Amino acid sequence: MFKSIRYNIAFPIILILIITIFALGSFFAYYFNKLFYEMIRQNLVAHAQLVALAFTEHPIQPNPDREMQIKQWATILDEQIMLINKDGRIILASDSPENRSENFLDNPEIKMALTQDYGIDHRRNDQNGIDTLYIAVPIKNENKIQAFVRMAIPLGQFHSQQRQLMTTLGSIMVLATLVISLFTINIFRIATRPINELTKSIATLTEYGFSSDWKPKNPIPEQNNEVSRLTVAFNYLTEQLHTQIEALENERNKISAVLQEMTDGVLIIDKEGTIQLVNPAVQRMLNLGELNLIGKSIMQALDYPHFIELWQKGRDIKESQSALIEIQPKKLYIQCTTVPLDQVAEGSVLMILQNLTRQRYLETVRRDFISNISHELRTPLASLKALTETLQEGALEDPPAARKFLIQIETEVDSLSHMVSELLELSRIESGQVPLRLRPASPNEILEKVVERLGLQAERAGIQVIVECAPHLPDVLADPQRLEQVLGNLFHNAIKFTPHGGKIILSARAERDKILFSVKDSGIGIPAEDLPRIFERFYKTDRARASGGTGLGLAIAKHVVEAHGGTIWAESVERRGSTFYFLIPKA
C-alpha cells in the first residue's frame, strides 16, 4: 500500500492506537454520562424521600403555607415538586399546572411507586416537550399510602454538560491521535533511517555496480540493535566484495593486457559457434580491420573452411586439435590449435592462432642460403680440384702450362677469400660488432670519391656516368667509409649490368630530415618476381649468375644503411634499368 516501510509499519500501529483511543473515549463518555445520570437520579430520589418524610407526620392539606413551602423547596433544589393524593389528583405543586384535575395514577412513576419504594420515569414533558426525569415516592402512614411526592427535573442542563463532555473528550482524542501519530512516524523514521541508507546503497550497487573508488558509507546507528548489526554486516560484506572485485578487475586487466599485446590470436567460441572472446592479434593476422567479432558466428568471422572444420572437430571429439593452415592468395601460414573448455562452459572451445609465415619465410631463406652458398663454393672448389688433378697428371712437367694452371688456382683462391671476407664482414655487421664512426659528412665528397674510385672501370665499359648533387646540400650523420662502401657496391652492380653505351646517374638530394641517395642505371633491369629478394644473402637472378659475383654486396649494403638508421629499396623495370635508393639522416 505504501512505498516506505516506515509507513507500512507505522500505519497499522497508528490505526490500532486511533481505534483504542476512540474506544476508550467512547467508554469514558458512556461511563461519565451514566455516572452523572445516576447522581441526578439518586439526588432526585433523596430529595423526594426527604419531602415525603416531611409530610409523613402531618396531615396533607392544601393551604398557602404548605404551598409556599413547596415552592421554596423547589427553588432551592431547582426541581419541580408535586404532591398527589392516592386518587391521583394534585394536592400541592411548586408550579401552577394547567390542569389540576388531571389524574396521575396512570403515570409510570406513580404506578411503580405503588409497589416499590419509589418510581422513576424518563420522558418528554407533555406540556413543554422538554426531556424530563420523574421520581415518585409514596407517603405512607401505618404502611398505607396516603399520597405521593412526585419530583421532576429537566435534563437540558444534563444534556448540555453531556455535549460539553463529548466535545472535550473528542478534542482530547483527536489531539492525542495527532501527537501519537507524529511521534510514531518520527520514531519509525529514525529507526528506519539506517535501513533507508542500506536500501540506497544496495540500489546504487544494483544500478551502477562497484566503481574503482566506491566505498561503503552507511552510518552505523549508535544503538546496539538489529539494525546497527545489519549495517555493520552489510558494510563488512560490501568491503569484502569491493576487495574481491578489485582483485578480479586487476586480474582481468592483466589478462586483458596480455591478450591485447599477444602476437598469437586467441578466440573463445561457444558450442553454437558464437565468438565470446577475441584479441586484436586475430584481426591483425587475418587482415580483418576494425570489425567487431564478438557475438558473431565463426562462419561469418573466419570465412575459411579449415578453421571451421578444426573448431567442429575439437568441439565434437573433446580433444585438442592442431593443424597448419595455408591461406591463399595471401600466402599466410597459420598454426591453428583448438582446446576444449568444457570445464568453463559445455561445448566451448579455445582457438589459438600462430602466424608462422615469417618462420616459413626464414626456412625458405635458410634453404636458399644453403643452396646458394653450396653452389657458390662448388664451382671454385671443382675448378681447384680439376686444376690440381691436371697438375698431378703431368702438367708440372710443362712449365708454361703449369704456370697458367697456378694463375687460375690463384684466381679461384682469391675468389674464395673474397667470398669468405664478405661473409665475415656481413656476420660482423649483423651482430653489431662493427662500430660506426659517425660524423657530419658531405654527400658531394662521398659521391666524388666513389666516382673517382670506379669511374675508370665505367669508362672502359663505355658507360656514361653523371653525378647530380647540389653544392650546398646538408651534411649527413654517417660513417663516410661505410657509405662509400654502399655506394661502391651499388655503382659496381650498375656497371656490371649496364651494356656498352648505357648511362649511370649517381645523385643525392634533401628529403625532409634525411638525404636521399640513388644510383640509377639503364641496364637489363631486375625481374619483378626477384625484386623483393635481391637484398638476401647469395640471392641472384638467373641473369646475374652468369656474370659472377658472390651475391653478398646488396645484403651488406642493406645492413650498413639500417645501421645508420636509414632504409634502402630498389625500383626496376626489366630491360629498362634499375634504381637503388637509400635514406640517411641529416647531421
* Torsions phi, psi for 155 (to 5 deg): -95, 15
Collapsed DSSP state (helix, strand, coil) of residue 574? coil
Q: How far apart are CA 572 and CA 522, in angstroms?
A: 10
Looking at per-residue confidence, does 551 or 545 come out higher? 551
pLDDT band at 543 (very low <50, low <70, confident <90, very high): very low
Looking at residue 57, its pLDDT comes to 62
pTM for the whole structure: 0.44
Of 460, 471, 578, which Cα lies nearest the Cα of 519? 578
CB 470 within 8 A of CB 509: yes
What average pLDDT does the segment 59-87 reach? 76
Please return the burial class of 205, using the count of CB atoms within 10 Å of its CB with bins 0-12, 13-18 and 19+.
middle
Dihedral angle over CA of 546, 551, 553, 558, nearest 10? 130
Q: How far apart are CA 239 and CA 224, in angstroms?
A: 21
The answer, yes or no, to whether residue 262 has pLDDT greater than 90, is: no
Looking at residue 6, its pLDDT comes to 60
Question: Rounded to a whole number, what is the distance in angstroms from the first to the last CA of the chain?
Answer: 85
pLDDT digits (tens, 9 = 90+) for 110-157: 778 788 888 888 777 766 667 778 888 888 877 777 788 888 877 766
Collapsed DSSP state (helix, strand, coil) of residue 463? coil
The answer, yes or no, to whether residue 199 has pLDDT greater than 80, is: no
- 310, three cell numbers: 578444426
**H-run or E-run covering 265:** strand 265-269
Please return the burial class of 372, using the count of CB atoms within 10 Å of its CB with bins 0-12, 13-18 and 19+.
buried
Looking at residue 386, its pLDDT comes to 76
Q: 544: which residues sit within 8 A by CB, 6+ positions away?
A: 497, 551
Looking at residue 132, its pLDDT comes to 79
CB 585 within 8 A of CB 476: yes
Average pLDDT over all residues of the chain: 78
The answer, yes or no, to whether residue 542 has pLDDT greater than 70, is: no
Q: Which amino acid is at 34?
A: K
Looking at per-residue confidence, does 32 or 148 come out higher? 148
Looking at per-residue confidence, does 192 or 251 come out higher? 251
Does 12 sit behind a cis peptide bond, omega within 30 degrees of 0 on the bond before it? no
Looking at residue 371, its pLDDT comes to 66
* Torsions phi, psi for 334 (to 5 deg): -115, 120
Dihedral angle over CA of 339, 345, 347, 351, nearest 10? -30
- 312, three cell numbers: 567442429
Task: Write the DSSP assignment of 29-78 as a string of letters.
Answer: HHHHHHHHHHHHHHHHHHHHHHHHHHTTSS-----HHHHHHHHHHHHHHT
Looking at residue 63, its pLDDT comes to 72
The answer, yes or no, to whether residue 162 has pLDDT greater than 80, is: no
Identify each DSSP E strand in 270-331 by its residue range: 275-278, 321-327
Looking at per-residue confidence, does 412 or 175 come out higher? 175
Q: How far apart are CA 71 and CA 74, in angstroms?
A: 5
Number of residues assigned to the chain = 587
Collapsed DSSP state (helix, strand, coil) of residue 264? coil
Instruction: Delineate the domains of the chain, giving CATH numbers in brackets.
Output: 5-160 (3.30.450.20), 262-355 (3.30.450.20), 364-430 (1.10.287.130), 439-585 (3.30.565.10)
Q: How far apart are CA 428 and CA 433, in angstroms?
A: 5
* Torsions phi, psi for 138 (to 5 deg): -75, 140
